[in-house]
Amino acid sequence: MKRFIIILCVLLIGNISLSADFEQNIPQEVNQPIITGGIEFDWLEINQSDRDAIIDKHKNELFTDDTVYKYAKKDFREMNKDFLKDKDYQRHYMLVINNVKETDDENLCGFYKGKLLISYAIQYKNDLRKVYYYDVLGNLRYVDNMSENYPNFPYSSKQYRVNGTLAGAIHFESHDLQYVFNNNKSFKGVWYKDKMFNNKAKQIMTRTNW
């Protein structure tokens, strides 16, 4: 469940209209490399050429010749025809606003502006490699597709808008460490736990749902 929450938080970074779970923060100095689960997080210590090399490595892994940047809208809707409308949106709405994160069949997560729920996500347990994001009226907005090795690290995920266009991609190195890219292959930042750093090692964002 915790891994699912991280996926949701990371993948909605670029979608300000859907999520208010992220806030700007003042950069904090880190003097020593951080080790997490056997993986050393030394983004703030290494030189710029090394950071650029890591970014290029993960960008090339995520954006291959097989990457689909845009499905035909008709085809994408046909692929997700059973999920275009959440027929149980009233039940899911009540579950989410009452902070229910899991049922027998689903993982759930809500996204808020202030105290107002503006969207929610569902990961069905019979297909954990998909996450569906809905507005509060149950209309599909985004779909996340995880790579075949999910939930084993490392894995990747690509998010598509309901019109079939790619919204972004992420390399999940570990529970604590994720590299986030926009749909144009530009690097958005690297998450370490609750903090995101840009390519210059400047802290640019925090998340509250880590």
What does the pLDDT read at residue 207? Answer: 77
pTM of the model: 0.80
Q: Say if 39 falls within a structural domain.
A: no
**H, E, C per residue of 18-79:** CCCCEECCCCCCCCCCEEECCEEECCCCCCHHHHHHHHHHHHHHHCCCCCCCECCHHHHHHH
- What are the pLDDT digits (tens) for 54-103? 999 999 999 999 999 999 999 999 999 999 999 999 999 999 999 999 99
Q: Say if 63 falls within a structural domain.
A: yes
Q: Say if 99 falls within a structural domain.
A: yes
Please count the structural domains in the chain: 1
Q: Say if 203 falls within a structural domain.
A: yes
- What are the pLDDT digits (tens) for 173-184? 998 999 999 999
Range of 64's domain? 2-25+47-207
Q: Say if 31 falls within a structural domain.
A: no
- What are the pLDDT digits (tens) for 20-39? 332 333 233 334 444 444 56
